[in-house]
Amino acid sequence: MSLKIPLALLCLIFIYQSAEARPYRSQKQIKVYFKEASSKHSETVRYHHLGYSEKQKDIFYITITKTKATKNTPAIYFNGSHHGNEKLSAEIVYQLAKFIVEYQDSSLIDSVLRNNVIILQPIVNPDGLQLNTRSNALGRDPNRDYPFPERDEHESFRLKETKLVKKILDNHRVEAAISFHSGMKGVLWPWCYSEKQTTDHNIFRELAIRIAKAMSLSTFEQSYFNYPSRGEFIDYAYMKHRTLALTVELSEPSYSDFKKQASSIQRAIAGSVEFLKALQLLRQGELEYTPRFDRDSSR
């Protein structure tokens, strides 16, 4: 029987009653949990070894679904820790994975899993995570290594870590994605490299508004107008696969401030749940668009 407790309330219950919600998990601890979840929930959860980083650290992810998935099954992808010093982003995706596993029989999550594959990769850049650096082991920024409309694949994917993200997108039909970061506070969408709007600008804007509202964030805008950049994951995912890919940024609490960490994680899970709800409405043709309003931060 599907749980009827509102998902927003479950977010609060999950974080604040979880005895192990703090401090941040290590790569090893996340891997152990993913393998345990795959074993305990073998009908719905699957662990995937993706490859190795520059320093030969495991790169992995899990998939969660209740359908007999094929390469053409719609997928929703969450990743974290493109930048190794943004440890909160890895913790968010880890906790989101735990939340989905634990509440997979709640009405919304059950519905999503019966029609989609959810992909969760907490750590894109494990070397940077260990070194506490933005860059990977070669000193390069993974989130500037992707193709975009002014640079092709031959001049991109110089890093092992980004090639493995490409592998996920090539092996799954990823229709939507969130890349978590922790450098500022806001929800951003393509294009990052140009002020031009995408064909799906209005859809991106509505998704961003809903996520931002669920997370109590005031900034939601096309990424270019927040900070222009070239070679970001979301531009590549949209350009290559027309994935509705967004960046969600939450500023990093101090490592010892466990209360703020728990609050940030709860807000991120609430925003992710709202993202899943909005995608369901979009697919059903029932997504209503928010009119522009005074002090609207979007463009």
The answer to whether position 288 is within a domain reads no
The answer to whether position 105 is within a domain reads yes
The CA–CA distances, whole Å, from 29 to 35, 55, 65, 202, 225 equal: 10, 18, 23, 39, 37
CATH number at residue 116: 3.40.630.10
Report residue 167 as tokens: 């592998």
Domain count, the chain: 1
Which residue type occupies 170?
D
Predicted pLDDT at 183: 87
The answer to whether position 296 is within a domain reads no
Res 44 pLDDT > 50:
yes
The CA–CA distances, whole Å, from 127 to 135, 184, 188 equal: 8, 22, 26
Q: What's the CA gap between 159 and 255, in Å, rounded?
A: 28
Query: What's CA 278's distance to the chain center, in Å?
Result: 15
Tokens 């859809």, residue located: 203
Report residue 265 as tokens: 């994680």
Instruction: Write the DSSP assignment of 98-158 as a string of letters.
Output: HHHHHTTTBHHHHHHHTT-EEEEES-S-HHHHHHT-SS-TTS--GGG-S-BTTB-GGGS--
Predicted pLDDT at 14: 60
Report residue 161 as tokens: 């870590």
| Between residues 13 and 19, the one the model is more confident about | 13
Full domain range(s) for residue 200: 7-283
**Residue 270 near residue 276 (C-beta atoms within 8 A):** no
Q: How is the beta sheet containing 45-52 ordered, strand by strand? A: 45-52, 58-64, 117-121, 74-79, 173-181, 244-249, 186-189, 220-222
Q: At 27, phi and psi to the nearest 5?
A: -60, -40
The answer to whether position 297 is within a domain reads no
The CA–CA distances, whole Å, from 229 to 145, 148, 175, 226, 250 equal: 11, 10, 23, 10, 18
Res 253 pLDDT > 50:
yes
pLDDT bracket for residue 89 (50, 70, 90):
very high
Q: What share of the chain is helix, strand, coil (3-state, %, to 5)?
A: 40, 15, 40
Q: What's the CA gap between 249 and 164, in Å, rounded?
A: 22
The answer to whether position 268 is within a domain reads yes
The answer to whether position 295 is within a domain reads no
**Residue 126 near residue 57 (C-beta atoms within 8 A):** yes
**Residue 34 near residue 95 (C-beta atoms within 8 A):** no
Predicted pLDDT at 298: 58
pLDDT bracket for residue 156 (50, 70, 90):
very high
Predicted pLDDT at 131: 96
Q: Which helix (H) or strand (E) holds 59?
A: strand 58-64
Encode pLDDT of 184-194 as tens digits.
999 999 999 99
The answer to whether position 161 is within a domain reads yes
The answer to whether position 292 is within a domain reads no
Report residue 144 as tokens: 């500037």
